[in-house]
Each structure stands twice: as structure tokens, then as C-alpha cells.
Amino acid sequence: MADSQAIKAPSAVQERQKRADMRRNLFYIALIAIGLVAPFVAYPVFLMKILCFALFACAFNLLLGYAGLLSFGHAAFLATGGYVTGYLLASYPGLTPELGIIGGTLLATVLGGLFGVLAIRRQGIYFAMVTLALAQLVYFMFVQAPFTGGEDGLHGVPRGELFGFISLRSNLAMYYFVFAVFLFGFALIQRTVHSPFGQVLKAIRENEPRAISLGYNVDAYKLLAFVLSAALAGLAGSTKTVVFQLASLTDAHWHMSGEVILMTLLGGVGTLLGPLMGAGIVVSLQHVLAQSPLGNWVNVILGIIFVVCVLSFRSGIVGELTKMYRKNFK
Amino acid sequence: MTFIKKTLTASIAVAAATTMAMSTAHAEISDGEVRIGYLADMSGTYRDLAGPGGQRALEMAVADFGGSVNGAPIVVFSADDRNSADVGANTVREWIDQRNVDMVAGLVASSVTIAVTRVLEENNGLGIVSGSAASSITNEHCTPNHIHWVYDTYPLANGTAQAVVEQGGDSWFLLTADYAFGHALEGDVRRVVEESGGEVVGGVRHPFPTSDFSSYILQAQGSGAKIVGLANAGADTVNAITTASQFGLVQSGQQLAGLLIFLNDVHALGLDATQGLLLTTGWYWDMDEEAREWSERYYEEMGRMPTMVQAGIYSSTMHYLKAVEAAGTDDPEVVRAQMAEMPVEDFFARNGSIREDGRMVHDMYLAQVKSPEESTGEWDLYEILSTIPADQAYRPLSESQCKLVQN
Amino acid sequence: MTMIFGVPLAVFMGQLTLGLVNGAFYALLSLGLAVIFGLLKIVNFAHGAQYMLGAFAALLGFRYLGINYWLALILVPLVVGGFGMLMERFLLRRIAHLDHLYGLLLTFGLALIFEGTLVNFFGVSGARYATPEVLQGGLNLGFMFLPTYRAWVLVAALAMCLFTWFMIERTRLGAYLRAGTENSELMQAFGVNVPLLITLTYGFGVALAAFAGVLAAPLYPVSPTMGSSLLIVVFAVVVIGGMGSIMGAILTGLGMGVIEGLTKVYYPEASNTVIFLVMILVLMLRPAGLFGKEA
């Protein structure tokens, strides 16, 4: 009896696990299908903007949702990626876009390392303030640096030819490239979260002293998470620059750091799809509001969403939906 | 994203009954409508310079024109660019792709303007820039698809600097905003001052933006220069002027020269702080009868007197509509050529014409801010000292780096 | 003429004085943040907005109610502080049991709302608030011309800082507050009304910001965005000093003002980044901050 149960039990668990995996895979396949069809239904440039910000928000969420670190300076990485890519592509005409993007991402990664080393010396609320202050420093440097064009911004970045032979001039080609970049970033985050590394991050988030006592080098884990997050934020910024063919100070401003927090919070902190949804909603909202009579009230409305989210909607849309699903179907 | 398209009917001003006066030209107006997009900062730093007031001015022009051109109704869209180049460029790209917008008006922050004019060039659209200051817009960033209407930094710096030196202000101390824009402005002023026989005896480059100018004002006082030139803009200029008045800079015998300062700034600062300030402007509401008449109509709608940018938006829209009417089409290339052919002469522009680089040159004015005793009302702020003729005010084509100009 | 590092002594002294004036603002604001942080454990991101509200309240009070500067200096902190207490009672308290990061996010949202609303009504150009008559003009200090109002700001801000220090370190109420900072449950058990104490503390911190706002009104154009960029600098000051001690916050604020002031003479291009650079240095050498207690 005991034996047969011991054999049967794991298989039931495996079965359930398998079904869950299948459901998840089906879900992702459906999402990818939607992404592939989307540009025929909606305006591709607008979709690309959403995807870039979604990647940015996913990168941010990796840090807040899985490592419990609130960075208030992520705009710095977005902007660094954007400016470096823009500068490279605009000044070296022979360079292909993917090399420009890799260049921008690399520099954002290095900056992430510098920020990380300094910021993880302080915890919690101090961490947020340190990252905010460092990002402000970077903002001022971008204002003064000659290559950014100051308030005029960096313009005329060519989209060029991917790998030297696929022209990104058409919005459709550009869209599929951005979609591929997003999927790459998203898959990387998904892998990271479910890897042993991701499990340790969660352990640190839940109980740091315990993780230390278990012998984990907590600071190294935090730093690695920070650098990875910065790199992906830089990737988002680099890609965005190629799409829009410009880089400007807006991306470096602390408002941008606030916006990415809002996207993540609204969609659902610590959920994989939340940032995607949050970015979609915030970008659409800004777009709609900008052309409506309520245009002047954008910041107020974002502020109200912030307050409502914090007060009574802390799991975000995806989090709440998951809760509802669990309650009703399990 | 169809929901966006649907909900975006936005502030559409379809004026006047479509009387179906089908003229022959009607067929050549795309979609049977003349569509104008107003893109400006509606909620940020430049809100008071153009913003909702500029939109009102544009709508006034449309209404005054009769609401339709050759029977084709005029439709106005508007959007807030939030001073973000990608928001602005994206909006215009969508306007052109999806709504066939024929002309983009407003355009304030220079980053937005440069990004938008590139989109216009790629898609063969037409833009009229009224709010931006950067002279590069019709220099290295010129395109055949836009026109720069109201002013730029070249006459502002040149006009002021030259007039000040001629009046005896021959030693300068420059307060420069430390970024590309400030450096360019500083270079212009330095050149003009030296060419006019003056001398720049010192200067300091302050970070952008700066709220506390007391240190720099102290340095300016110590320099012994007769003139303290402000090679910065917006809040920086306002802060510098406020601080200078607290430190008694003017009382101790020095004079301020503002290179980029607008009516709304002077109004906000008050005459106590700004009196005696010399500046160059493209227009002033009280400069003559015609200007006054229009401004009073505007005042009734907005409760504020118009800035030169807001007046320029009216003037340029009117000129555009006249060109569409005369050409019988809203095709950007044809309209652009037609606009350049017609002289610009209205309550706003005197001796105006559009050059091949897209610069609308017109008479500029040297003004001095009145003292509180001289002023008779809330908006009685400037005294016009002299006129700088259109052909001398702007950067000569011989110095142009614009690709449209053969040198 | 005596020179200090290539700068005449007179200029040097002048810049030192101006640096102290700016430092006084940093001190007042970081003090307010420290007081709030002590008991509520949240970073008040609305602090800059509340400073701005103080300046606006003074401006509007004068414009529409004829309240003069001196009255405003007393009334405005009370009104804005009272408004802060309402914020604490009805919003912050609801999330007090959660991770303190939520407090930061909530106050950030509130700051956006305050700023955005005022931008819609008053624009961004900024309005002037007249310097009170008694404080117009200037003092000749021998080495510089110091506007009387700036001298007054220095005196008033320092007096307020010392008053706060005295209240917290030397009075019974302050003793409760310090005890509450250490262990609020125990305080509750001793019969102290801790929720009320928290509300009052938040209100006091906000009142300090509003007081700074009134002081700043005649100096800078009163505009809805005057507080936000200042706040980021104050955050850096707080990271440098650590929020552990009241005196630490005051001294760090003044010190940073002086450092910034001197940078304006020697290398003006870096004057808005120097405090952040100092922050980096402190993080590398003494991660807990100059006066900090936490690890």
C-alpha cells in the first residue's frame, strides 16, 4: 500500500505540473500569435513604443518584483542605451543597427555595475534615494555633454540595415525586429526568474538575514540582478532610439523613472506579464490623453492612478486577475 | 488599437456650415478637408509661451477665415507633446499616416521641432514652427518641409547685443547656460559685441537648470562690466533677473540684457525686477493700432495678452490658408511654394517674406521694459525703441549651412 | 588683497555666506524628512511639493486675503501642516502596516497630483512674492553686499532648526517621539496614543517644509515645479548625513550648501552635480552616512 502510494503520488503531481506547463505554453503561443498579427490591426510605431516600454518595465520588475529592490533611477539606463546607440549609429554610418544596439546595451550594463556597487551599500528606502540621486547626476551629465545636443536632443539616427542586409526602413520590418528583441528580453527574464539564481533572489527578498545565514553572498546576488536589469533597460532604450531615430533628455528625466514604476505597479509587481500590460495601458493612456481636452491633466491622472494602486490595488491588474482565477477555478 | 483612433476625435473645430460651395479647386484638396494639427507643450515649461493660448489663436484664424477653404472645411486636431521629442514625432507620424494631416502648427521645444521636421521631410508634410528659438532649425536642420515663423536666437542675440553696445554698453559679462544652446547663444553675442567695438570682460557658465543665481550675480558684480548678458532661457533667465534685482545689480550701475525673454516672463517677474531690461522681440501686442485691435480680441477670449508666439500662430495659419486658397490645393509642396511667393504683411509681420531656407524674415523690434511708474496697466510692459529691418535682422543666407541654399 | 586659492578673500567670504543661506534650506528640508522618517519610517516624496505648497499658500494668502509675510510665516506652516495631518490620517495610515516602500510610492503619486493641479491653474512661469518692506535693501558686510532678506533667511532657518532640535531632544513630547522611534508597540502599551503621535509628527515635518517654502517665496519665483528638483538634492544630502540624528541633518545641510557655494566659484560647471559626487564619495568611504546608525 505504502509503496504503491509512494509511486503514484509523484506521478499525479507530475501530471498536474505537465498540464500547467502545457497551459502556460499554449498561453505564450497565443500571445506570440497576437504579437505577430498586431501590426496589421494597429499602428506599428505605436506598438513598437509599447514593446520598448514593456521591455523597460520588465527589466525594472526583475529588480523590484523578484529582488525586492526599488530603483528610482532606471531612466539613466534607458537614456544611456539610447544616447550611446544613437551616437554610434549617427556618427559611424557603416555600423549596422544590431551593433549599435549592442554598444548601447553594453554601456548601460557598465553603468548598471557602477550604480549597483554604490547603491547596494544601502538598503530599502536609502537604496531608492541613492539610485534617484545617481540618475540625476547622469541626467546633468547628459545635459552638458556635447554629443547629446542638450535640449535639442540627438537626431537623425539611421535605422539602417539589420545584419547589413535587412532594411528596417519600413515600419513592419522594424516592428518584427523590435518584437524579436522584446521576446529575447522577456525569455531571458523568464529563465532568470525560474532559475536557481531567481530562487535565491526571492529568498533574499523575503528574508535577507536568513539568506545570509544560509551562506549566500547576498550582495553579489543583488549586484548581478541590478546589472542584468540595467542591461535590459539599456536594451530597451537602444531599441527605442533605432525605432524613433532620436534620443532626448525626456528618457533621462526622473519622471521616466517614476513612469516605469507606475507601469510595473499598475500591471502587477512580481508577475511576468504585469509590466507588459502596465506599459501598454500607461503608453495608450498618455497617447489618448495627449490628444484630448484632458491633455493638461496627464500628470495629475498618473498621480491618481499611483495613489489608487498603492492604496487598494497593490497586486496590479495581472495580480488581481490571477487571484480571481485561483479563487474561482481552483 | 482602433479604440484609440475612435476616441481621438479630440478637439476638432469644424467651423461654419459646410455650405457645399463646390468649387473646382475642391477636388484637389485631399480628403475634401484642410486638416491642421496643433502640436505644443500644453502642460510643461512652455505652456505660457504657446500652449492652450496658441491653440485659441489658431482657432481664431480658422474662424476668421470662414471655417473653410474653397468649400473644403478646415479641421483642427491638437496634441500635447509634453516636451518630449519622441511623443511629438510619433504624434505627427500618426497624424500623417492615419489622418492625412496637411499642416502641423505650434512646435515649441526645439528637440520636438527638430524631430518633427524630420518626420515631415520623410513623409512630405508641411510644418510651420512658431514657438522654437533655435536658429539651427533653418540652418543645419533645415528641410524643404517646414517654415520658421516668429523669431529665432540670431536676431534676439544680435539685435540686443548690437543695440546695447551702440548705446554705450561696451563691456559685457556673460551668464551662460552650460549646454549646446547656451554656448551657441554666447558665441553669437561675443561676436556681435566684439564686432561692434565692445568687449566681453568675463563670464560664467552655470549648469542648466539653476535655481540659485546669487553666486553668479555676485561674480558679475565683481567683474565691473557695464552689461550683464543673460545667455540662457526660460526659468534660468527669470531666476537670474530676480536675483539680480535682490542684489541691487541695476541700482549699482550695471544693466541687464536679456537674450531670450518673453512677454509672459516679464509679466510673471513684474516690473520692479525687470525695469530697464533691453530685449529684442518679434512683435508686441501694443506696438500699433492693428496689433492692439487683434490683441484685444484675443484678450477677451483668454484673459491674457498674447505673446509673440501666439500672435505668430494666428498670422502663419492665416497665411497658410490664403496660400491653400490661392493654389487651390493643400499639396504641401505647392502650398509651400505659394506661401513663399506671397509677401507676409499683417498685424504681426511687417516686410515679411519666406526665404529658401524656410526662414520667414520680418521686422524685429528692440524694446525696453518700462518702469512701474511708466506702466499704465497690467500688460503695459514694453516700450519699443527701434525697428530692426527684416533684411538685417536674421542670419544672412551667405552664412547659411542649410542644404537648400546654394553658396 | 588676500587670495584664497586664486580667489580674493572678499569674494570667497561672500560665496561662503551665500552657500550658508542655501544650506539653510537644505537643512530645514532634510530635517523635516528626518523627523518624518524617524517615526513613520517612510521617505516623504511629497516633501518638495509641500515646500512648494507653502510658497503658494503665502502667495495666494497675500493676493486674495491680504495676509502679510509675517502672518504667513506662522499661519502657512499651520495650514499646510494640518493638510499634511489629513494626508497621514486618511491615506498614509492605511498602508502603515505594509512595506515602507509603499509610503514612498504613495507620496510620489501625491506629489504628482499637487504639482500637476497647480500647473493647470497657475502655469509654470512662476509668480513674484514681494520681499517684506523691513527686509528690503541690503547690508554692507565689508566684503560683500548681502541682501537683508538673505540674512534673515539664514537666521530664521537656523532658529527653526535649533527649535526643532530642542523640541525633540529636550522636551517631554520629544522624549515620547524618540521612544516611539525606538519601539512604538511598547509606547502604545504604556498608554501613549501612538497613532496621534504619528499624525502630529507627520504634520510637523510637513510644516517645516511649508515654513521653508514661505522663506523661499520672496527669493525664487513661486512656481509649481520649484520643489521637485530641490527634493532630489535634499535626498542626496540625507544619504550623505544619514537620517539618524537631528543635529546631523542640520550640519550636513549647511555643509553641503557651503560646498556647493564654493564650487560655484571654482568650477561652476559642476555646481549642480557636486553634492551627488560627495554622496558617491561618502557611499564608498562610509556607507552608513556621516551621522548614520544603520549598517
**Model pTM score:** 0.87
Query: Which of B206, B211, B266 would best serve as a mutation to test chain C binding (most C beta carbons within 10 A)?
Result: B211
Task: Round to whole Å and give the CA distance between B34 and B103.
Answer: 8
Kindly report the nearest CA distance between residue A42 and chain B, in angstroms: 5
Q: Do C232 and A133 touch (CB under 8 A)?
A: yes
Contacts with C42 from chain A: Cβ below 8 Å: 125
Q: Do B79 and A291 touch (CB under 8 A)?
A: yes
Residues B47 and B162 in one domain: no
- What crossing angle do the helices spanning C228-241 and C9-40 adopt, rounded to 10°? 80
Burial class of residue B397 in the structure, from the number of CB atoms within 10 Å of its CB (0-12 exposed, 13-18 middle, 19+ buried): middle
From residue A261, alpha-carbon distances to A73, B393, C48 in Å are 10, 48, 19
Task: Round to whole Å and give the CA distance between B107 and B80.
Answer: 10
Task: Determine contact: B371 vs chain C, CB below 8 A.
Answer: no
Q: Do A143 and B87 touch (CB under 8 A)?
A: no
Query: Which of B215, B272, B309 would best serve as a mutation to test chain C binding (most C beta carbons within 10 A)?
Result: B215
Under a CB-based contact definition with an 8 Å cutoff, are residues B343 and B362 in contact?
Answer: no
Chains linked to C by 3 or more Cβ pairs within 8 Å = A, B
Task: Round to whole Å and give the CA distance between A78 and B240.
Answer: 33
Contacts with B44 from chain C: Cβ below 8 Å: 119, 124
Q: Do A133 and C115 touch (CB under 8 A)?
A: no
Task: Round to whole Å and give the CA distance between C35 and B28.
Answer: 70
Q: Do B86 and A284 touch (CB under 8 A)?
A: no
Q: Do C106 and A123 touch (CB under 8 A)?
A: no
Q: Do C239 and A133 touch (CB under 8 A)?
A: yes
Burial class of residue C242 in the structure, from the number of CB atoms within 10 Å of its CB (0-12 exposed, 13-18 middle, 19+ buried): buried
Q: Do C235 and A310 touch (CB under 8 A)?
A: no
Q: Do B247 and C138 touch (CB under 8 A)?
A: yes
Burial C84-104 (b: 16+ CB within 10 A, else e): bbebbbebbeebeeeebbbbb
pLDDT tens-digit profile of C55-71? 999 999 999 999 999 99
Q: Do B235 and C126 touch (CB under 8 A)?
A: yes
Sign of CA dihedral A220, A225, A230, A231: positive
Chains linked to B by 3 or more Cβ pairs within 8 Å = A, C
Contacts with B82 from chain A: Cβ below 8 Å: 250, 286, 290, 298
Task: Determine contact: C124 vs chain A, CB below 8 A.
Answer: no
A258, A300, A311: residue with CB nearest C108: A258
Under a CB-based contact definition with an 8 Å cutoff, are residues A287 and A46 in contact?
Answer: yes
Burial A23-36 (b: 16+ CB within 10 A, else e): eeeeebeeeeeebe
Q: Do B82 and A298 touch (CB under 8 A)?
A: yes
B42, B43, B181: residue with CB nearest A152: B181
Flag whether B197 is in a domain: yes
Task: Round to whole Å and give the CA distance between C7 and C1.
Answer: 10
Task: Determine contact: B236 vs chain C, CB below 8 A.
Answer: no
Domain total of chain B: 2
**pLDDT beneath 50: ranges in chain C:** 295
- Restricting to A residues 165-194, those with a Cβ less than 8 Å away from any Cβ of C are none
Q: Pull the grid cell for residue A49.
A: 513604443
Flag whether B402 is in a domain: no
Q: What is the CA radius of gyration of chain C?
A: 19
Task: Round to whole Å and give the CA distance between A73 and A94.
Answer: 33
What is the number of alpha carbons within 13 Å of residue A33 lying toward its C-beta?
6
* Grid-cell match 499637487, residue found: C114
Nearest-CA residue of chain B relative to C149? B246
Nearest-CA residue of chain B relative to C120? B43
**The pLDDT of residue B27:** 47
Q: Do A245 and B118 touch (CB under 8 A)?
A: yes
**The pLDDT of residue B179:** 80
Kindly report the nearest CA distance between residue A115 and chain C, in angstroms: 10
CA dihedral C204, C205, C210, C216 (to 10 degrees): 130
Residues B316 and B246 in one domain: no
**The pLDDT of residue B10:** 37
Q: How many CB atoms lie within 10 A of CB B318?
A: 20
Kindly report the nearest CA distance between residue B239 and chain C, in angstroms: 7
From residue A210, alpha-carbon distances to A87, A203, A206, C288 in Å are 46, 8, 9, 22
Task: Round to whole Å and give the CA distance between A311 and A267.
Answer: 15
Q: What is the pLDDT along chain A (330 residues), one digit of tens a residue?
A: 444 444 555 577 788 888 888 888 888 899 899 999 999 998 898 999 999 999 999 999 999 999 999 999 999 999 999 999 999 999 998 899 999 999 999 999 999 999 999 999 888 888 999 999 999 999 999 988 888 887 778 888 988 888 888 888 888 999 999 999 999 999 999 999 999 999 999 999 888 889 999 989 999 999 999 999 999 999 999 999 999 999 989 899 999 999 999 999 999 998 999 999 999 999 999 888 877 877 778 889 999 999 999 998 888 999 999 888 888 775
**The pLDDT of residue A9:** 57
**The pLDDT of residue B8:** 36
**The pLDDT of residue B16:** 35
List the strands of the sheet with B255-258, edge to edge.
B199-206, B171-177, B227-231, B255-258, B278-281, B364-369, B382-388
Kindly report the nearest CA distance between residue C138 and chain A, in angstroms: 34
Q: Do B206 and C22 touch (CB under 8 A)?
A: no
Contacts with C219 from chain B: Cβ below 8 Å: 242, 246
Q: What is the CATH number of the domain that holds B382?
A: 3.40.50.2300
Q: Do B118 and A156 touch (CB under 8 A)?
A: yes
Q: Which of B80, B76, B54 is nearest to B321 (CA)?
A: B76
Count contacts between A and C (CB, < 8 Å). Answer: 114
Q: Do A311 and C95 touch (CB under 8 A)?
A: yes
Q: Do B1 and A42 touch (CB under 8 A)?
A: yes
DSSP A149-181: TGGG-B------EETTTEE--SHHHHHHHHHHH
Task: Round to whole Å and give the CA distance between C258 and C215.
Answer: 19
Q: End-to-end distance of chain A based on CA atoms, in angstroms?
A: 29
Residues B25 and B88 in one domain: yes
Q: Do C128 and B273 touch (CB under 8 A)?
A: yes
The residue segments making up the domain with residue B273 are 154-281+364-389
Kindly report the nearest CA distance between residue C270 and chain A, in angstroms: 9
Contacts with A60 from chain C: Cβ below 8 Å: none
Flag whether B104 is in a domain: yes
Contacts with C130 from chain B: Cβ below 8 Å: 272
* Grid-cell match 507601469, residue found: A263
Task: Determine contact: C226 vs chain B, CB below 8 A.
Answer: yes
Contacts with B84 from chain A: Cβ below 8 Å: 248, 250
Q: Which helix (H) or strand (E) holds A136?
A: helix A124-144
Phi-psi region of A316 (alpha: psi -120 to 50; beta: other; left: phi over 0): left
Contacts with C269 from chain B: Cβ below 8 Å: 178, 205, 207
Q: What is the pLDDT along chain B (407 residues), one digit of tens a residue?
A: 344 433 333 333 333 333 333 334 444 888 889 999 999 988 777 888 888 999 999 999 999 999 999 999 999 999 988 888 888 988 998 899 889 999 999 999 888 999 999 999 989 999 999 999 888 899 989 999 999 999 998 998 888 898 889 888 999 999 998 887 888 889 889 999 999 999 999 999 998 888 889 999 988 988 889 999 999 887 888 889 989 988 888 888 898 998 888 998 899 888 988 888 889 999 999 999 999 999 999 999 999 999 999 999 999 999 999 999 999 999 999 999 999 999 999 999 999 999 999 999 999 999 999 999 999 999 999 999 999 999 889 999 998 999 998 86
Kindly report the nearest CA distance between residue A4 and chain B, in angstroms: 56
From residue A208, alpha-carbon distances to A92, A217, B164, C98 in Å are 47, 10, 66, 17
Task: Determine contact: A289 vs chain C, CB below 8 A.
Answer: no
- Restricting to C residues 198-237, those with a Cβ less than 8 Å away from any Cβ of A are 228, 232-233, 235-236
What is the number of alpha carbons within 13 Å of residue B104 lying toward its C-beta?
38
Q: Pull the grid cell for residue B307.
A: 505673446
Q: Do B52 and A143 touch (CB under 8 A)?
A: no
Nearest-CA residue of chain A relative to C95? A311
Task: Determine contact: C1 vs chain A, CB below 8 A.
Answer: no
C8, C128, C272: residue with CB nearest B210: C272
Task: Determine contact: C119 vs chain A, CB below 8 A.
Answer: yes
Q: Which of B47, B44, B105 is nearest to B75 (CA)?
A: B105
